[in-house]
Amino acid sequence: MKYIFLLFLGTLFLYSKTPLDDKRIVVSQIGEKSYRMRIYMNFENPYKTTSTLVSQYSQHKLNLPIPDRFEILDMKQVIHYTPSINIDGDSSTISVKANNKFIKEYQLAHQGMLGRGIELETKIPLPLLYDGYNDICVAITQQPKPSVGGGGVGSGVSTVDSCMNIGELAASGGGGGGTPPSPYWTQIDLHNSYIEFDFKLKKFEERISSIFKFIFDNKNSTKDRVNFIFPTLPTETDFNNYGLLSNIAGNIMDFKDLDITISTKIDNNTNNIVIVTRDKLDEIFKEYDSSKLSGNINLIRNINREEKGILVITGDTQDEILSSIYRLTDSDMKTLRGNHLVVKTRTKPKKSRPYTAPKFIQFGEKIPFSDLDFQTRTFSGFGVNSIYFHFVTYPTREFSDENIVFAINRLNSNSSKLKTLINLFVNGEFSHQIIDSKPIDSFLGQKFEVAIRENVTAEALKKGKNYFRLDISVFPRDSDEICAPPSLQATIKDDSYFIIPKGDGHVELPELQYFGDLAFPFSIYPDLQNSAILITDFHAKTIASAMLMAFKLGQKIGYPGYYLTTTYDINKVLDKDIIVVGKHIEVYSPLYSNASLKFKNGELQKRVYLSKKFHESNEVIDTTEKMKLDNYFFTQSYQSPFNPKRVILDLTASNPHTLFAGVKDGLLAKNMGNFQGDVWLYNVKTEKSFSYRLGKEYVVEEMVDGYEDSEFEKEVSKIVDYF
């Protein structure tokens, strides 16, 4: 009984999750070639169901992408919101804007509707829309109800561009002797508010730029699909070519997901990609005009479905084909209008340095606010203004007593009677307060060395995803004065910066969360020179799963994996970090020697390390179970048996169809919240997932042999962002 109890404790799942069932994007066909798409305002984060607007002037924006291949026929916005009972409904307004142009302004609420849900529908004029991304904005001006004895700050005084003494405010009939107004807010129901538009699909344009507008379109809110045409008996060259292309597609698509399928012929229901030597083109394109395939990169319309197209990459030699794939990374490709391109030579860059992926910030380096997409910003009005900086670090450093350094450049209004207060939060934890009441000329360029408090040092900076929040308030320096909103202004400049300390090398493995969030350890080298994808069988679903993993690496790292190896030959990848895709096979048995789960002859072999938490000493328990695993997709991570500093990420299932469904539908952002531990299970039918800690943890001080900070120049060379 003792061991049964211990085994139960040792295999308790760390976390389980069932994603939301509610669809946030709904597409329906309303005519022979016309469709209707409804995009709910929380489509990017279904768990954020409301947005509460609390200041006098506030707004909520939805960044709406419109694919180039959509011809918009009609559009409307429907907003559901609830105003506070403390608002003066007669003088408060709500407006709808498209790309900073007013469409219509409404009274926020009649007095009888305060505190109740309101629905507002607005037709959006099509001429106001841009090609690509559009800002659809709900803006409010909300005034509080007059306080007892006077109009309060919201009774008209708040619109005066001046500072006045509280006594003057009271004498003027406002404020009731300085009594502050009651709290007021308006809450938008994001879960039930939406943008809806009718559209039809345009014909596929036979232009090079259609690679980005039709095939790899990161502006489509729904998931696209593309079909790779493989030979019946694929070679390692085919795997490497399509693996590299998939990885580059991940760079292009960035945060948008893509479905990849594999076939041996053209699929008329979707866009297709062919990578083949020129002598084999006729086998695939017997019914097509061969003169349209004269280049190394060719775009042609599907003769059986005019809104779909085919990307054909070809050449007389493999070197020509590789040069053509590399050419896809050049930024000018997005603007080329011809239907084909001849690529003479295009060499791949030199191998990259470790820890230089563009989506990661560097330790010990100055990080300007502008590098995190912040633009110089001016704040005005009462209340707190917040700035968020989200960033990602490699999980290879530990911090003790070192400090984060902040240098904040800002400008105040020219009034000498104002001061600025900045509260700094690290991952939601309050860490430091900056109060400034100095004149402008003595402030610019001043550094604030922000020491994280001792009791939050270990927890505040996380391994991987982090964020800072700056809460900024501008208020009178003298306590007996109050300023109207237009006079309360402060500007935070984008040349402000912060520096994350270098810390000490230390990473605990295995940890699936590092891969889910950071593609680590594969992201150590952004060009994937030390990474490989190993395919264990040639089933079309297994190959498609491998291509999707190459795509996901491209998404998470943000740089082309020029040196990625995609192969079925284990001997070529023994000294690399390996993603294994496919069923466990006997010939690769040494590969699984450190795995917690092994699959053999329909049986699940499980090895569990019991920690001292449950037992007087570390102990291993091996079990063999017969289980029905048809619907389960397994992901596990463990130390490579071939190199103790390398990691194996094993993706497997009892059959290729479940494997593909697990990679396609399981390894999505919505499921990454519980992608942790060393084993993760996903049921492809129920969409439930579970994470476990079964294997033995180990520590690596430095993942790269011989790596020392001093070996690299102080200024790390920037990797060009092609996309």
Calculate the average pLDDT of the chain: 83
What percent of the chain clears pLDDT 70, i.e. is strictly above it?
81
Of residues 164 and 19, the one with the higher pLDDT is: 19
Report the pLDDT value the prediction gives residue 1, as an integer from 0 to 100. Answer: 34
Listed in sequence order, the residues at least 6 apart from 127 whose beta carbon sits closer than 8 Å to its beta carbon are none
pLDDT of 394 over the 60 cut: yes
Of residues 23 and 81, the one with the higher pLDDT is: 81
- Average pLDDT estimate for 254-273: 95
Element housing 189 (H / E): strand 186-189
Element housing 6 (H / E): helix 2-10
What would the 3-class secondary structure string for 511-578 be? Answer: CHHHHHHHCCCHHHCCCCCCEEEEECCCCHHHHHHHHHHHHHHHHHHCCCCCCCEEECCHHHCCCCEE
Element housing 601 (H / E): none
- Average pLDDT estimate for 331-345: 93
- Write down the residue that tokens 């105003």 correspond to: 83
Residues 114 and 84 sit within 8 Å (Cβ to Cβ): yes
CA angle 255, 260, 264 (to 5 degrees): 160
41: helix, coil or strand? coil
- Average pLDDT estimate for 613-632: 73
- Write down the residue that tokens 């059986």 correspond to: 304
Query: Band of the pLDDT at 607, cuts 50, 70, 90?
Result: confident
Residues 206 and 301 sit within 8 Å (Cβ to Cβ): yes
Beta bridge partners of 225: 259
- Write down the residue that tokens 């190959």 correspond to: 543
Closest of 493, 495, 502, 494 to residue 404, by C-alpha: 502
Q: Whole-angstrom Cα distance, residue 316 to residue 228?
A: 20
| Cβ atoms < 10 Å from Cβ of 71 | 13
> Could you tell me the strand order of the sheet in which 597-600 lies?
597-600, 603-610, 619-626
- Average pLDDT estimate for 527-540: 97
Which runs of E-coded beta strand occur in 291-351?
297-301, 309-315, 340-341
pLDDT tens-place string over residues 498-513 = 888 888 889 999 999 9
Q: Whole-angstrom Cα distance, residue 129 to residue 75?
A: 10
pLDDT of 584 over the 60 cut: yes
Of residues 574 and 147, the one with the higher pLDDT is: 574
Report the pLDDT value the prediction gives residue 177, as an integer from 0 to 100. Answer: 37
